[in-house]
Structure formats: structure tokens, C-alpha cells
Structure 1
Amino acid sequence: MSCMITGNVPLMSGAPTRVFIARLAGVAVFDPAGDQVGRVRDVVVALRLAPRPPRVLGLVVEVAPRRPVFLPITRVTVIEADAIIFDGRLNVRRFQKRDSETLVIAELLDRTIRFRDTGEPVSVVDVAMEPTRTRDWLVGKVAVSRAGGRGRVAGRGERSERPGVRGVRGRGLRRRGESLIVNWDAVEGFSAVEHGQGAAGLIAAFERMKPADLANFVHELPEKRRTEVAVALDDERLADVLEELPEDDQIEILGKLEVDRAADVLEAMGPDDAADLLGELPTEQREQLLTLMQPQDAAPVRRLLTYADDSAGGLMTTDPVIIAPDATVAEALAQIRNPDLNPALAAQVYVCRPPTATPTGRYLGTVHFQRLLREPPPTLVSGIVDAELDPLRPTMSLEAVAMYLATYNLVAGAVVDENGHLLGAVTIDDVLDHLLPEDWRESVMDAGAEVSADPEEEALRGTGGNP
């Protein structure tokens, strides 16, 4: 078996190798034909009585559409830095964690444990699994971070190949102290229930994950762990995740944050998403949060809250790409190149006389990005604007907006008031969000398939990893 090794440890013939589990997060999983079937979300282990190391049962693999399934470790044939290959047999029944099982990334990272001989507290940075001669995998090593100690602790373990563990941007997070790799039996405390467990390591493991995929992962966490992750995420990242979560999760997480932090996160959300979330809160709580938000951020949200949810005004975002008529094609293209911009919003720019902040001066029309690509960079947008297409009105119904976009083959449309001022734009993703059943996010996240039990899986998991 080919294995991903840690740091600069050489891979010797016949020698056991280590795979640090947090580094597996997001790694692609392939069948023998080379087709990707999903990505690693976590690793399932069975904790055993000390000092016996946990046994690795298998991987949690996320397959389309966002469904976690269990892949027994016995079916994994290759583990490399950027790919895992299995023997092609995969039961797509939805994974459900059992009481005897522990998820390494979701539950063990960032846990505070103690050195068995001194009682000194340390934080779990990662754990490493190692193959045995019988083809089992055991968790034999733990990478830990000491709060502020210096120098090597003789006899306890090895100094990590990584001189420091990179911290995670966010409130209250600091760079970790010295990191060590120790034997599993050198530490204790993995079975204790911990309150206030951090989440820096877990977040680092999934830092490259798209917001929608991270939201799916957060949705699956226990409430306690979900809150810890939310507290540790920075405002922008948490805002992106909240926008992808079901309504109940949004309300729960927002309610667990300190009120000032909740207001900051709402400021980082898109005005339309913030308005949708605030609209589900009690009036008193909603007003408190709006008052704590910066006035320039609260004002568009307050405007959106005045419209019905299923109207163009309630669907629109107040942050489309707006340019003045004397702007050039080059300037317009520079704005839609913004990587943080919603692709639907980047599909066109809206030309308005100053002021260009919504509600704008007089709306003149739209320029689609394909037209921008066909024109010389110095061309003024006023000369290529499409002024013939009537804009949406804020009181138009959801059905009317959907028909408008379908009729003209658009992914977004301008919303203009009776005085000709641009109020915002409705994008196709918001239309679909409201046309789908209210619980569509939960349905996608909780999607499963009725598949017969897998005898090998049941034998491995049904006995706590001791078939």
C-alpha cells in the first residue's frame, strides 16, 4: 500500500508509515477505474480502554448530492497526499455515527487532554493512524500543542516536523505554542466530555472547502460542536456558511453568538440573506441587531424588510455591480472580475447616473458581460447599454420574476422603482431558493438512499471495530 507520510519522514520498505488524519480532509476518493466518487469528510475510529490505541474503522466520504457514506478502511487500497483509492465496493446508505464510534476531525481535534505522567494540559492538533501487520489501522500517535512551553520534553515524544501549527484567522484565536508528536498512551482525557472545546484545528482542516460544503459539514455536527465552530470562524467565513445553512441552523447559531458578534456577522452577509434571516427572528431581537449594525449596513437590510418575501423587492440584493455612464469597458470588466462576486451578479453591470449606491440616480440600462468582452477597453458603457428591456418592479411576484428571467434568458434582472431609481437586482439563485420547497436545504443535506446493509461494514462497525 502506498501511504501519505508526515513531514520529512522517509518511507522505508516494510516500515510502518503514518497518515495524519486532518490532512485527509477534502482529499478526493477514486474507484479502481480512476473515477472520482467523492471526498473525505472524516475518519471513524473506535476508542478502546487505555492504553490500547483506537482502531480505525473507516472513512466518511461525501458523495453527490452531499451525502456522507461509510467506506470501511479494509476496502482502501491506496492513500496518497492528494488521492485515496478503494476497491470499488461502496454502500451508498447514508452514514450514521453509532454511540461506540468517534469522528476524529469533528470530535477529537482541538480537544484539551493531559500528559499521563505529569497532568500537563495540551491541545490536540492532529492524530496519526498507522497500519499493522494484520492490515488493521490503529491511531498510534497524537500531535499536540503546548500552551507556551519551550524546549523539548525528553522522553515524551518527538518534535513535530512542522515547527509551529498555523493559527486560524478569527476572534480570540492565537498562534499555537510548541507542537509535539507523542504516543497515544502518553496522554489521556479523550473520553471526557469537554465544554468550551476549541475549533481551530477543525477549521484549518477544511479551510479550502467551499462554503456550501462546509455548511453541510457544520449541519451534521452535534449542537455543542456546531456552536464551537461558529464561534471560531471569522466573520466573513461564518457569514458565507450561514447563507448556505437551513433556516433552523441559522437561527440557532446566531442565537449562540454574543450579540455584538452576531451583528458583525450580519454585516458580512449579503443584505438579502441578512434580511431573510432577520425576518425569521422576533421583532425585539431583530431590532436590537439592526441597531448594533453599522448604519450603512443596516439601511439596505431595513429597506429589504419592508417588502414581501415573495416579491422582487424581497428577493433582490442591494449590492449589484453599478457603474456611471462615463465609465469604460475596462473599468466595468475590472469590477466583475472580483472573485468574491456572485457569478450571477457578475453576469452584467447596471448603468446609472450618480449617485451609484442603491437607491441610485436614474437607471439607464444594463450591459451584459458578453457585450463587454466584444468591445474595445476604452469604449464608454453609455454607448453600449441595453435600454430597451423593461426592468423589474419591486412589487412583482415571485412567479412574475421567474417568468421574466426565463423569457429573456437572464440570470439576473434590475429592480427599479416608479421614479426610475435602481433599487437592486434579483438573481436566479434567489429565485430558485424561493421556488423550491422550504426545506430543500435540509432535504439535500439529509438525502439518503435505502440500500441494504453491508455485511462487511456491519461486522466491522457492529462490534466496536473488533470483528
Structure 2
Amino acid sequence: MTSPTRIYLARLAGVAVFDPNGDLVGRVRDAVARLRLTQRPEIVGLVAEMPMRRRIFLSINRITSIDAEAVVLGTGTLNLRRFEKRPNELLVLQELLDRRVQLDPGGQAGAVVDVAMECSRGGEWALTRVAVREQTGRLTRRGHLHQVEWERVRGLTGIADARGTANLLAVLEDMRPADLANVLQDLPDARRNEVAAALDDERLADVLSELPEHDQVEILAALDRERAADVLEEMDPDDAADLLNELPPPEQDVLLDLMQPDEADPVRQLLKYSPGTAGSMMTSEPVIMPPDATVAEALARIREPQLSPAVAAQVFVARAPMTTPTGRYLGMVHFQRLLREPPADLLGGVVVNDIDPLQAATPLPEITRRMATYDLVAMPVIDQNSRLVGAVTVDDVLDHSLPRDWRDRDAMTAPTETPEGIDG
């Protein structure tokens, strides 16, 4: 194996894993250590996350090169069974980062910020050193950082006391919301709730939208109601409505009353529609502009970074007011058409209105058929007075077409093995 003799494991989080041909297999999410009575824990492998959020085990013996830049596997057969931790194993990053420990001698209290593994002359990797930051009791000053031998730290195994989340969050901060949601599903419930509560409102809102409904409900229930309402305000109205639909009506009313009225009103409107209809799955905040806006103004609007690709793919044109429900709906303009038109031209001159909008009661199968027929990524939804009330996007259709538990990792299935390189 070509590797440094000592590697701090937090630096491996997110590192790409490649097969012998240089193809990406996945990314490192953790290291697996086997606990031993009289010796330091032995590193037996890494946990890698593959596409489709599947986590697999990579035996340390299969790895030919490992460092903070890349992990390279040797030839053989890659086992794609979902990783499951055994009773005598330890997930190093998940279970040790932020753990409250004491240093010997003296019993100085601190929190684990990183753990190092080293390779012996015999080729065995083991946990050897721990980076521990002292607890000073002061919020404005960080304690001294110690890098000490594994044996000098008490409290690394057994049941952990209540702990912080700063170091684990530092490892996770660059993850996409969907990947972070995947990590949360692997944490014990109490730890998951601690990490979720430590995220800022906007980040937590994005992550909640990527979790199965039962996890969303449990995390929201672990927050105080004022914080829960703040997080709901940061979610897209359709996602907030989907989450609130999982709660009893009295709890829905409490949280909606705690939200700002201008944030709660669109959610209340969406909750009125029957499940499985355009009204229940649409976003009430598509890009809407008046017919006298210019192409240049429309292009500037869809460049706003907070817009999802599906929402930013087209501009809906309507009479004032520009918030839903709007004035009379006039049509839409796809961003490709905007790119082809002179910047000074008015939207009213390039609008397309030859496709009938959806009604709020249009069922999912009809929505899917029409979007596929016309190759659309979004369709307008109007009311009986031809006012735009929202838009159904392709991601909304996929979300409601897939099985209800599609985000739940426990429900996923996949092949157990695949050839990698040549047979070994």
C-alpha cells in the first residue's frame, strides 16, 4: 500500500475513491475500527458512499493507496451490500468526534476533534493518536489542542455523555443537502437530533427536504416550536406543506400560527388541496414577471442563485399582482428562448401560450403524461379565473411518483457484487 504512515481521519471525509481503472467508485464517509481488549483499535476498512446514497464497506486490505487526496482500490470484486456495523466495531468519525473525554495524567476535560491511524511494519492500521481540545469553560476562547497517544485518553469507548457537534459539522459542512441527509439517517436518533439542531435554519430546511417523512417529523418534534416554525419558513412552501401534512391538524395550526403570516399563507393554501393533485405538489413561488418586463430583466431574474434549476428554467408571464394568485395568466417563456431574443424585447412579445395550463385538481398521472408529451420541466397551474396559482416542476412529479419510502435508505435494494478491474 502506498500511503503516509499516519493519517488523521477527519481529513479523509469526502475524499474520492477510485477503482484500478481510475473510475470513481464513491467518497469516503467514515473509517471502521475493531475494538480489542488489550491493543489499540484496529482499522478494518472504510465506509464509502456510492451514487444513489448506498454506503458500502471497503476492506483495508483492498486499498492500494490512501491519503488526503484520493483512495485507490486494488483489483477484485467489489461487494455492494449495504454496510452494517458489527457489535465490536466503531465508526470513528461518527462516534468519536466531539466526544467528551479526559486526558491522563491530570484528568483535563476536553472534546475529540480528530483521530489518527498509523500503519505498522506488518501492514496493520490501528488508531494511535487523538487530537483533543481542552474545555476552558469560556465561550470566547478556544482551549489548548493536545495530540496524545490513544492510551492517554479516557472515555473513548462506552456510552458517551452529552456532547457538542462542532467538529462533526466541520467534517460535513461541504456536503450537498442530500448527502448530509444520508449521513443523518445513519446516526443514532439522539445524535441525529443533536446534529440537526446545530445546523442553521436554512441548512436544516434544505436537509429536511431530502429526508424520509418519518425522519422529518422526528427531527422537527425534537426542536422547540419557535425554532421549528423558523425552519418551516426557510423551506419551499410545497416542502413545508408536505411536512406539515404528516402532523396532526392541531400541531399544524400551532406551527402555522408561529410562522410569519407572509410565510404561512402560501403553506395554508397548499394544505387545502387534495393529495396527488397539481395543487398539492406545486410550488407557489415560480418566477413570475409582467408582460412589459424585458428579456434582459427576465434573464437577470432566473440567474438568482437561490432558484432551483427546474424553477429557473422558465418565466411565467401574468398581469399584476406578481405574487400568487396573480392577475390573468398570459403564458410562459423558456430560458432558451430568452437567450435567443434581443435583450430589449418585451416578454409580452415572446410569450408562448399554446399549451393549456394545469388546473389545481389535475391528478398526478395526467400531469406526468402532459409534461412528458411536451418535454416540459414545469407547467403552470391556474384557478377557475385564469389566475396563476403555482407551477408543478419535474422534481415535484418525480418526488410524488416514486414510492413513498424512496428516500429511506433502509428500503433501498441493489446488487450485492460487481466486478472491479479483474477478478481476484
Same fold (TM over 0.5): yes
CA distance 1:84–1:232, change in 2 (3 Å): same
TM-score by structure 1 length? 0.85
Equivalences for residues 18-57 of structure 1 within 5 A? 18-49=6-37, 52-57=39-44
| Structure with greater strand percent | 2
Tell me the residue number matched to 1:8.
Answer: none
Tell me the residue number matched to 2:331.
Answer: 365
1:218 and 2:184 correspond = yes
Tell me the residue number matched to 2:349.
Answer: 383
CA contact (8 A) 1:321 1:350 kept: yes
1:60 and 2:26 correspond = no
Distance between the aligned counterparts of 1:118 and 1:448, measured in 2?
A: 51
Q: CA deviation at 1:326?
A: 2.2
Deviations 1:389-413 (A, max 9, x none): 2211111111111112112110111
Deviations 1:234-267 (A, max 9, x none): 1111111111111111111111111111111111
Tell me the residue number matched to 1:401.
Answer: 367
Distance between the aligned counterparts of 1:20 and 1:338, measured in 2?
A: 39
Q: 2:80 aligns with which of 84, 92, 117?
A: 92
Which residue identity is paired with 2:73? Answer: F
1:298 and 2:298 correspond = no
Tell me the residue number matched to 2:209.
Answer: 243
Q: Secondary structure at the match of 1:44?
A: strand
Distance between the aligned counterparts of 1:105 and 1:330, measured in 2?
A: 48
Distance between the aligned counterparts of 2:193 and 2:18, measured in 1?
A: 33
1:134 and 2:138 correspond = no
CA contact (8 A) 2:185 2:409 kept: no
Q: CA deviation at 1:341?
A: 1.6
Q: 2:164 aligns with which of 171, 189, 198?
A: 198
Deviations 1:71-98 (A, max 9, x none): 1112211113221101133221221101
Distance between the aligned counterparts of 2:26 and 2:75, measured in 1?
A: 12
Deviations 1:151-207 (A, max 9, x none): xxxxxxxxxxxxxxxxxxxxxx98854333222222110113224322221221121
CA distance 1:445–1:439, change in 2 (3 Å): closer
1:81 and 2:47 correspond = no
Aligned length: 417
Distance between the aligned counterparts of 1:26 and 1:174, measured in 2?
A: 30
1:273 and 2:239 correspond = yes
Q: 2:91 aligns with which of 103, 107, 110?
A: 103
Which residue identity is paired with 1:22? Answer: A
Q: Secondary structure at the match of 2:283?
A: coil
Distance between the aligned counterparts of 1:448 and 1:118, measured in 2?
A: 51
Structure 1 spans left out of the alignment, 5+ residues? 5-16, 151-172, 453-467
Most deviating of 375-384 and 442-451? 442-451
Q: CA deviation at 1:290?
A: 0.7
Equivalences for residues 158-197 of structure 1 within 5 A? 176-197=142-163
Q: Secondary structure at the match of 1:145?
A: strand
CA distance 1:327–1:148, change in 2 (3 Å): farther
Deviations 1:219-239 (A, max 9, x none): 121112111111111111111
Distance between the aligned counterparts of 1:357 and 1:147, measured in 2?
A: 51
Q: CA deviation at 1:209?
A: 1.4
Tell me the residue number matched to 1:353.
Answer: 319
Structure 2 spans left out of the alignment, 5+ residues? 419-424
Q: CA deviation at 1:56?
A: 0.8
Distance between the aligned counterparts of 1:140 and 1:202, measured in 2?
A: 20
Query: Could you tell me the percent identity over the aligned residues?
Result: 56
CA distance 1:188–1:402, change in 2 (3 Å): same
Which residue identity is paired with 2:3? Answer: C
Which residue identity is paired with 1:100? Answer: N
Which residue identity is paired with 1:59? Answer: L
Aligned CA RMSD, in angstroms, stands at 2.0
Q: CA deviation at 1:48?
A: 3.4
CA contact (8 A) 1:65 1:447 kept: no
Q: CA deviation at 1:450?
A: 4.4
1:252 and 2:218 correspond = yes
Tell me the residue number matched to 1:153.
Answer: none
Distance between the aligned counterparts of 2:379 and 2:249, measured in 1?
A: 31
Q: CA deviation at 1:451?
A: 5.5
Deviations 1:357-382 (A, max 9, x none): 11122222101010011112222222
TM-score by structure 2 length? 0.93
Which residue identity is paired with 1:92? Answer: L
1:437 and 2:403 correspond = yes
Which residue identity is paired with 2:118? Answer: E
